[in-house]
Amino acid sequence: MATTSSASRVAYRLNRFGRAPRITKSLRKDRATHLPIPHVPVLTTREFAPNRLKDHYHTTLADDLMYLTYTHEPSGVERKAPRQIRLKFDPEDPYSKFRHNPPVGGSQVGKKPAPPSTPEDTVRLEKIQIHTFIKESLQNKSALLSPIMMLRALTGETAKGGGQHAVEGIQLVKGRKAVGGWIRPGVPVGAKVDLRGQSMYDFLNTLTEFVLPRLRDFNGIVLPPKSSSSTTPSTVSGVVSFGLPPEAMVFFPQLEVNVDAYPMLSGIHIHFVTNAKGKGAQDKARALVSGFQVPFVRR
């Protein structure tokens, strides 16, 4: 009697399993691997814990960023299409008909206007990409092992780990073209990892709480001088990038516990990728990232 009452008490708990269900029918086994095949084809994990920084974004940052990045356009008035001042070869001309026909004066990518300001289009963090290039790996492929383990420890990401099927884990970066005597196509030269959702916010949290405050000569991400061009592709793509030197890596608590296990710590590039696009996108992205307490300085 006492056991049933305690069992039911456990069952009412929202976050506890009382007892694993009894196995009545054994699962089919894969012929090749001899591993059991689950009843459902895909088990997908969604969010598995509350998230402080995500809450902070929704309760505070989203409103502020909407007010800060708002550009007024009269309602009900369609945007004028840009005036075609750049010449093209006549598209009906048999010579140029099926040829690549860009406007004279180069690509207009950097002059693409931002989409209209709407509440749905408020700038938000899409992913964080961490990337490391290892020069020694050109001679010696095993030089990549230490950085791969470092990225695994930093982010906890493994391919499809924890039932998250879109997660690719740590990826090798391979050379794309041949540069005389230095790099060849298909040669592994680095490692990268894409962080989204929970692990993205976890990494951002570690970075701003543990690493950046402990860096001695880091006052903030250096902003470009005011005179720099605002029409380059990087300013309209809504990405904020910066790098950490190898000396900074020991401040990550994940690496601090067993620094000796890594024969060589390498620095990392960190890219904060946001949904901002068009003119002024990088400024919007900086406003967002600084809202997560990443400092910026102007030289």
Q: Which stretch binds other proteins (CB under 8 A): 86-94, 157-165, 218-226, 264-272?
A: 157-165
Among 126, 127, 158, 278, binds other proteins (CB under 8 A): 158
The distance of closest approach from Cβ of residue 64 to other proteins in the complex, given in angstroms and rounded to an integer, is 5
What's the CA gap between 181 and 108, in Å, rounded? Answer: 35
Residues in the chain, total: 299
Among 8, 45, 101, 232, binds other proteins (CB under 8 A): 45
The distance of closest approach from Cβ of residue 94 to other proteins in the complex, given in angstroms and rounded to an integer, is 44
Calculated CA dihedral for residues 87, 90, 96, 100, nearest 10 degrees: 40
Site string for other proteins, 10-29 (x = CB under 8 A): ----xxxxxxx---------
Is the CB of residue 277 less than 8 Å from the CB of residue 238?
yes
What's the CA gap between 211 and 256, in Å, rounded? Answer: 11
Q: Which of 97, 78, 79 is nearest to 88 (CA)?
A: 97
Among 68, 138, 145, 187, binds other proteins (CB under 8 A): 68
- Residue 182 makes contact with other proteins by CB under 8 A: no
- CB closer to other proteins, 45 vs 96: 45
- CB closer to other proteins, 48 vs 182: 48
- CB closer to other proteins, 157 vs 194: 157
The distance of closest approach from Cβ of residue 16 to other proteins in the complex, given in angstroms and rounded to an integer, is 7
- Residue 48 makes contact with other proteins by CB under 8 A: yes
Among 39, 72, 83, 100, binds other proteins (CB under 8 A): 72
The distance of closest approach from Cβ of residue 173 to other proteins in the complex, given in angstroms and rounded to an integer, is 22
Q: Residue 51 burial (CB < 10 Å; 0-12/13-18/19+)?
A: middle
What's the CA gap between 98 and 119, in Å, rounded? Answer: 41
Q: 11: which 2 tokens?
A: 């069952």
What's the CA gap between 19 and 193, in Å, rounded? Answer: 37
Q: What is the DSSP string of 206-261?
A: HIIIIIGGG-TT--SEEEPPTTS-S-SGGGGTTEEEEEE-GGGGGGSHHHHTTGGG
Among 49, 77, 81, 166, binds other proteins (CB under 8 A): 49
- Residue 32 makes contact with other proteins by CB under 8 A: no
**Which parts of this chain interact with other proteins (CB under 8 A)?**
14-20, 43, 45-50, 52, 55-56, 58-60, 63-64, 67-68, 70, 72, 149, 158, 161-164, 257-258, 261
